[in-house]
Amino acid sequence: MADPPERTFSETDQAIMEATYRALREHGYADLTIKRIANEYGKSTAAVHYYYDTKDELLAAFLDYLLEQFVDSIHGVETTDPEERLELLLDELLVKPQENPDLSIALLEMRSQAPYKEAFSERFQQNDEYIRYMLKAVVNHGIDEGVFNDVDANHITRSLMTIVDGGRTRAVVLDNLEELETARRTASEYVDAMLR
Amino acid sequence: MADPPERTFSETDQAIMEATYRALREHGYADLTIKRIANEYGKSTAAVHYYYDTKDELLAAFLDYLLEQFVDSIHGVETTDPEERLELLLDELLVKPQENPDLSIALLEMRSQAPYKEAFSERFQQNDEYIRYMLKAVVNHGIDEGVFNDVDANHITRSLMTIVDGGRTRAVVLDNLEELETARRTASEYVDAMLR
DNA sequence: CCTACCGATCGGTAGG
DNA sequence: CCTACCGATCGGTAGG
């Protein structure tokens, strides 16, 4: 499986994406309006509509922009030793979100709209597949090297993603970053129990 | 810890709550309007406002109505044998949601609004505490009876909730009920690994 | 409880 | 890219 398709953003596109990012962190997804994006952009709403015909189109582009950055950060984990690499990937998924709680809130809002917006659904689906692919590869690598038990890598991977998404959801809903630490510990316990 | 406080609903209140429930399942939370609730109620929007001054007030009441039903269903698990009871509680949390996917979608939407609506936050928080209390009691019961290892019941409980919320979130976002089954299996694996 | 309505806000567009 | 504006929709209310 190759990396997800890349998308090119002109400097203007980038400026609008960053404006969207700021508006989203400040007001949340439910209160994200073209006007607020335009304010952050520093121009009129018509200027935003000049580059993106509809709000939906802009938001789809924004998800591409955001998830690309996320994929890059996952990609940045270069350690190859399976045991260490798995822990570092889990850190990336559960420790790093602590740096930006406002974004986590907005992202859960957007995820909750996936059932109504196919453009969202497609992108979250693809992103999830990519992360699962990365995790599965490490697990299989560990099995091949004999450091992990010969388990159902597909299931283990899905279980870890369940723990990751559970920690993220709970951190937002219960407004408590410790939920991410709990989930991180749970993930390690699960890895220990199933892979050794 | 006692059961969460009960709230009394008149027949009119009940009718409005059921109308809200239907409107929510049909249109989702983001598109839930007083007009749509009134349509389901079969009367005018002014009629709805006659009983609930504001939309926020109505939604807070609705969450009470909904979470009370949920607590009742958890309360309905009467088995006392710790091992069996834990499995039945997990079934209640992860198998039963499969019956009503539309409600699960709307509930995730509402959960994602907790950071912006204190009335929501309070209620989800209280509901979570109650479920954790029920789970913790079973784990401690099992420890006392010697069928479970002497573990940190608090942590085990939070881990299980993480798996539960992960399964629920993923089922909605990825539009796949199998995510709940995966989470159910993960929960059993975790219980097996940590408690035996 | 209804009819009728208000002010506010939204996404989007015409015309330049 | 801006100013100015449109039609649609929202939550809520006045008056009965």
- The CATH number of whichever domain residue A44 belongs to comes to 1.10.10.60
The contacts of residue B45 (CB under 8 Å, 6+ apart) are B34, B35, B38
Pick from A103, A107, A127, A162 the residue to mutate for testing the B interface (most B CBs within 10 Å).
A162
Is A105 inside any structural domain? Answer: yes
Mean confidence (pLDDT) of chain A? 97
pLDDT of residue B114: 98
**Cβ contact, residue pair A115, B194, below 8 Å:** no
Is A86 inside any structural domain? Answer: yes
The reply to whether the CB atom of residue A133 sits less than 7 A from any atom in nucleic acid chain D is no
Measured CA to CA, the distance from residue A31 to residue A24 in angstroms comes to 8
Measured CA to CA, the distance from residue A59 to residue A120 in angstroms comes to 8
Mean confidence (pLDDT) of chain B? 97
**Cβ contact, residue pair B112, A116, below 8 Å:** no
Closest CB to A169 among B121, B165, B183: B165
Residue span of the structural domain in which B150 resides: 74-195
The per-residue pLDDT for range A36-67, each reduced to its tens digit, is: 999 999 999 999 999 999 999 999 999 999 99
The reply to whether the CB atom of residue B43 sits less than 7 A from any atom in nucleic acid chain C is yes
All residues of chain A having their beta carbon less than 8 Å from the beta carbon of residue B155 are 182, 185
CA/C1' separation B92–D11 (Å): 37
Is A5 inside any structural domain? Answer: yes
Query: Are both A47 and A81 inside the same structural domain?
Result: no
Structure tokens at B103: 């409600």
The per-residue pLDDT for range A170-179, each reduced to its tens digit, is: 999 999 999 9
The per-residue pLDDT for range B136-160, each reduced to its tens digit, is: 999 999 999 999 999 999 999 999 9
**CA quadruple B18, A117, A63, A74: dihedral, nearest 10:** 80
Where are the strands (E) in chain B, listed by range?
A: none
Pick from B186, B191, B192 the residue to mutate for testing the A interface (most A CBs within 10 Å).
B186
Q: What is each CA distance from A181 to A87, A95, A139, B158, in whole angstroms?
A: 13, 7, 22, 11
Question: pLDDT band at residue B4, thresholds of 50, 70 and 90?
Answer: confident
**Cβ contact, residue pair A112, B115, below 8 Å:** no
Measured CA to CA, the distance from residue A117 to residue B191 in angstroms comes to 36
Instruction: Find the mean pLDDT for residues B113-118.
Output: 98
Query: Are both A52 and A82 inside the same structural domain?
Result: no
Query: Are both A50 and A132 inside the same structural domain?
Result: no
**Cβ contact, residue pair A194, B189, below 8 Å:** yes
CA/C1' separation B51–D15 (Å): 18
Question: pLDDT band at residue B25, thresholds of 50, 70 and 90?
Answer: very high
Is A66 inside any structural domain? Answer: no
DSSP state of A148: S
Query: Are both A84 and A165 inside the same structural domain?
Result: yes
Is B60 inside any structural domain? Answer: no
Q: Which nucleotides of C are covered by protein (CB under 7 A)?
A: 1-4, 9-15
Instruction: Find the mean pLDDT for residues A81-91.
Output: 98
Query: Are both A83 and A162 inside the same structural domain?
Result: yes
Instruction: Find the mean pLDDT for residues B41-70.
Output: 97
pLDDT of residue A1: 63
The per-residue pLDDT for range A88-120, each reduced to its tens digit, is: 999 999 999 999 999 999 999 999 999 999 999
Closest CB to A159 among B109, B113, B186: B186
Question: pLDDT band at residue B102, thresholds of 50, 70 and 90?
Answer: very high
A73-80 long-range contacts (CB < 8 A, ≥24 apart) are A74/A130, A74/A131, A74/A134, A75/A3, A80/A141
**Cβ contact, residue pair A173, B116, below 8 Å:** no
Number of domains in chain A: 2
Query: Are both A129 and A174 inside the same structural domain?
Result: yes
Question: pLDDT band at residue A5, thresholds of 50, 70 and 90?
Answer: confident
Task: State the smallest CA–CA distance between residue B104 and chain A in angstroms.
Answer: 10
Query: Are both A183 and A89 inside the same structural domain?
Result: yes
Whether B191 contacts B86, CB under 8 Å: yes
DSSP state of A196: -
Question: pLDDT band at residue B35, thresholds of 50, 70 and 90?
Answer: very high
All residues of chain A having their beta carbon less than 8 Å from the beta carbon of residue B31 are 116
Is A130 inside any structural domain? Answer: yes
**Cβ contact, residue pair A162, B179, below 8 Å:** yes
Is B179 inside any structural domain? Answer: yes
Is A10 inside any structural domain? Answer: yes
Q: Does B188 touch chain A (CB under 8 A)?
A: no
Query: Are both A49 and A135 inside the same structural domain?
Result: no
The reply to whether the CB atom of residue B30 sits less than 7 A from any atom in nucleic acid chain C is no
- Tell whether the model's pLDDT for residue A132 goes beyond 70: yes
Measured CA to CA, the distance from residue A37 to residue A106 in angstroms comes to 14
pLDDT of residue B1: 63
Query: Are both A83 and A134 inside the same structural domain?
Result: yes
The contacts of residue B192 (CB under 8 Å, 6+ apart) are none
Q: What is each CA distance from A74 to A90, A136, A172, B54, in whole angstroms?
A: 10, 14, 22, 45
Instruction: Find the mean pLDDT for residues B82-95.
Output: 98
- The CATH number of whichever domain residue B119 belongs to comes to 1.10.357.10
The reply to whether the CB atom of residue B14 sits less than 7 A from any atom in nucleic acid chain C is no
pLDDT of residue B3: 74
Instruction: Find the mean pLDDT for residues A112-132.
Output: 98
User: Which of B76, B90, B128, B89 is CA-nearest to residue B107?
Assistant: B128
